[in-house]
Chain A
Amino acid sequence: MSTAELSDERLIWMFTQMLRIREFEERVKRTFEDHPGVIRGHTHLADGAEASIVGSLATLKDGDQLLTTYRCHGYPITLGTDTKAMMAEIYGRKDGLCGGYGGSMHLCDPGRGFLGTSGIVGQGIPHATGAAFAAQLRKEGQVVLCFFGDGASKQGAFHESLNLASLWKLPVVYIMENNGYNVATHSEQEDANAANGEPLSVKAKAYSMPGVTVDGTDPLEVYETVSTAVQRARGGQGPTLIESKVYRLSAHGNLIAPPGVPLHYPEHEAITVFGNREEYEAALRGDPVPRFRMRLVEQGTLDADRADAIAKEVTEEMDAAVQFGLDSPFPEPEAATNFVYA
């Protein structure tokens, strides 16, 4: 389906999801300031990647599946997972999406096709490849989307999985969200292709599959590119590697510190490690969420009043999510030994 066939309502839906992701992530970040100690461990936000996430997921049909990295909040939000349960999970509560067992890095909603994440870079890629293998066996035309970052493409698991998926023509679409950083390291410092000024999609050649680079800050371009790949997969022609270029607007994650030190979000590594404030500010100016809103308003798809109304609803939704999380009880300690085995 090309973007020309997207209805106004569908476009507005896409914008709404992008806004929901942004507002959810802002609330997670704000929790560190407003309610210190509530969120423990490490969280990773999707602000800046909304267009890439929503543009990709908009191509899916019922029954399709996806696996992601630990930077996972944006996907279930788009799929319709209850944001109250998500926030409660991040707050470690009993009514959390995973009962408080997993936390921010390990959300899942298998009923909606979100099979899960891995906290270990690149290790979800073989998982998605296996899910695609199952989809192939079932012959119901399902497709699997596999999300990972540019850092993961240096993992052996990336190499092994893409080779197999191509050889067996598995119905999987590999979506590499390239934000130019691996935590505090530039891609050019760790990737031979990046160091030579090449797009990372050239890696696809080693696996005899199509590789394409797309502007991940434009949801419609992402939609177009991922659609093509999804159709290819559904038609039995095998996988595609898509490099979706994004810029994350927050630091890699919140501060890492032992208990007793308040956690918070530091500034982006462009500033704190490389002293390059201009790079960060340029990315802020290209923020995909307000850009898409402006585009839809300008082309008459969305009027400003409706946009404001949507924003208001989204704010209320996320207020409720935070409150639900804060009000939720903690799990019983003894529950810790459940679910070890099936």
Chain B
Amino acid sequence: MVERETALDLLRTMWRIRCFEERVAKLHHSLQVHGLVHLSIGSEGVAAGVCRQLRDDDAVYSGHRAHGHALAKGAPMNRVMAELMGRSAGLCQGLGGSMHLVDTAHGLMGATGVVGGNLPMAAGDALASRLRGEDRVTVVFFGDGAVQAGHFNETVNLAALWELPLIFVCENNGMAEFTPRSAHTKVARVIDVVAPYDFERQLVEGSDVGAVWTAFGAYLDGARAGKGPFLLECSTHRRSGHYEGDQQSYRDALEDAEWAKLDPIARLEAVAMKRGWIDEQAAQRLTAEADAEVDEAVRFGRDSPPLTAEQAARLVYASPE
């Protein structure tokens, strides 16, 4: 179990993500955020437990479900919101959108909409750290659906062969888009898929953010010391549909009591309250603060104009400075 300070920081981080995501759902519904968005409700524990231990110069590669990773890694919330709204003050000046959140100042190096496309990139990035002899670490987030893609295997083989300082973090929510994992593969646990490469790996409950924190922390120390790769599989529950607008006719809704057991925020709050680290009012304050920050982010986004075509055209190619 984590210390009090850490627990409160993790709760704060998770509430920020939760409130942000819930607001994005509403904004999407009212068409103020458009296109394809994929929410992290239910997996905040993994984003927080992993990213809050990283430095700005450590690299994170994520995929289409990246809002939580971005916020936990330190991307300013108002700039993330502006990006989702397609505004020039957004992280990527409105050119990337929800699935392509990049914030190099905070080490958020790449996010791709193509499942698993980020895996080999993260390996290359880890190789760079190795070549420079740095203790900088690369983390790549991916879902259980990416594990069946050919490039997952290619990347795992190379990372193991070249012993890269790369930490694979798999958020296994048991669903790949609209079908359960059992329709995609016989092998239920991702740690079993990489077993032939025999590097350190473990499975933790993603809703137990303390367990995520501890397990990841050990791998982080190892990677900084030049060891690797590592794989941390976190079982999570994807509360929303695959994307916003998904009717979810393919699965049964969870009972509230069941959800409480799988909700990383509810779980940590229960523990924190039991230990007297927070009380009801403090918890409500956390939520209110998060909501206020989200309100401010929405205003910030709305106030920013979109990029012009001429400005965008200059960004197609890099030219010498």
Direct contact of A and B (CB under 8 A): yes
Binding site for B on A (CB under 8 A): 154-160, 163-164, 166-167, 190-193, 195-196, 198, 202-203, 205-208
B157 touches A (CB below 8 Å): yes
Q: Given contacts A160-B149, A163-B148, A206-B195, are A154 and B184 in contact (CB under 8 A)?
A: no
Distance A202 CA – B195 CA, assembled complex (angstroms): 9
Pull 14 A–B residue pairs with CB atoms less than 8 Å apart, ordered by A. Answer: A156-B151, A158-B153, A159-B148, A160-B148, A163-B148, A163-B186, A166-B186, A167-B184, A190-B161, A192-B160, A198-B196, A202-B196, A207-B186, A208-B186
Q: Is the interface of B mostly helix, strand, loop or mixed?
A: helix
Q: Given contacts A163-B185, A190-B161, are A154 and B196 in contact (CB under 8 A)?
A: no
A155 touching B154, Cβ below 8 Å? yes
Distance A207 CA – B152 CA, assembled complex (angstroms): 13
B142 to chain A, nearest CB (A): 14
B215 to chain A, nearest CB (A): 22
Q: Which of B158, B184, B192, B196 contacts A203 (CB 8 A)?
A: B196
Binding site for A on B (CB under 8 A): 148-154, 156-158, 160-161, 184-187, 192-198
Distance A89 CA – B210 CA, assembled complex (angstroms): 66
Query: With a CB–CB cut-off of 8 A, which chain A residues contact B193?
Result: 206
Query: With a CB–CB cut-off of 8 A, which chain B residues contact A155?
Result: 150, 154
B161 touching A191, Cβ below 8 Å? yes
Distance A192 CA – B164 CA, assembled complex (angstroms): 12
Contacts A156-B152, A191-B157, A192-B156 known; 10 new A-B pairs at CB < 8 A = A154-B153, A158-B150, A159-B148, A163-B186, A167-B186, A198-B196, A205-B192, A206-B193, A207-B187, A208-B186
Q: Which of A158, A195, A196, A206 contacts B194 (CB 8 A)?
A: A206
Query: With a CB–CB cut-off of 8 A, which chain A residues contact B195?
Result: 205-206
B152 touching A205, Cβ below 8 Å? no
Q: Which of A164, A195, A206 contacts B161 (CB 8 A)?
A: A195
Q: Given contacts A167-B184, A191-B161, are A159 and B197 in contact (CB under 8 A)?
A: no
Q: Given contacts A160-B148, A195-B161, A196-B198, are A208 and B187 in contact (CB under 8 A)?
A: yes
A154 touching B192, Cβ below 8 Å? no
B187 touching A206, Cβ below 8 Å? yes
Query: With a CB–CB cut-off of 8 A, which chain A residues contact B187?
Result: 163, 206-208
A192 touching B161, Cβ below 8 Å? yes
Residue of B nearest to A160 (CB): B150
Residue of A nearest to B151 (CB): A156
Q: Which of A166, A167, A193 contacts B197 (CB 8 A)?
A: A193
Q: Which of A156, A157, A158 has the most CB of B within 10 A?
A: A156
Distance A205 CA – B198 CA, assembled complex (angstroms): 11
Q: Which of A154, A157, A160, A198 contacts B157 (CB 8 A)?
A: A154
Query: With a CB–CB cut-off of 8 A, which chain A residues contact B196?
Result: 193, 198, 202-203, 205-206
B192 touching A206, Cβ below 8 Å? yes
Query: With a CB–CB cut-off of 8 A, which chain A residues contact B198?
Result: 196
A181 to chain B, nearest CB (A): 16
Distance A154 CA – B151 CA, assembled complex (angstroms): 9
Q: Which of A159, A195, A202 contacts B153 (CB 8 A)?
A: A159
Q: Which of B149, B160, B184 contacts A156 (CB 8 A)?
A: B149
A281 to chain B, nearest CB (A): 29
Residue of B nearest to A190 (CB): B161
Q: Which of A157, A159, A202, A203 has the most CB of B within 10 A?
A: A159
Distance A206 CA – B194 CA, assembled complex (angstroms): 6
Distance A156 CA – B148 CA, assembled complex (angstroms): 9
Q: Which of A160, A196, A206 has the most CB of B within 10 A?
A: A206
Distance A166 CA – B192 CA, assembled complex (angstroms): 15
Q: Which of B149, B158, B185 has the most CB of A within 10 A?
A: B185
Distance A160 CA – B147 CA, assembled complex (angstroms): 9
Distance A159 CA – B156 CA, assembled complex (angstroms): 11
A159 touching B152, Cβ below 8 Å? yes
Query: With a CB–CB cut-off of 8 A, which chain A residues contact B194?
Result: 206
Distance A30 CA – B304 CA, assembled complex (angstroms): 74
Distance A203 CA – B160 CA, assembled complex (angstroms): 14
Residue of B nearest to A166 (CB): B186
Query: With a CB–CB cut-off of 8 A, which chain B residues contact A159?
Result: 148-150, 152-154
Residue of A nearest to B183 (CB): A167
Query: With a CB–CB cut-off of 8 A, which chain B residues contact A190?
Result: 161
Distance A159 CA – B196 CA, assembled complex (angstroms): 13
Q: Which of A154, A166, A167, A193 contacts B154 (CB 8 A)?
A: A154
Query: With a CB–CB cut-off of 8 A, which chain A residues contact B156?
Result: 192
B126 to chain A, nearest CB (A): 15
Residue of A nearest to B188 (CB): A208
Query: With a CB–CB cut-off of 8 A, which chain A residues contact B197?
Result: 192-193
A156 touching B185, Cβ below 8 Å? no
Distance A196 CA – B184 CA, assembled complex (angstroms): 29
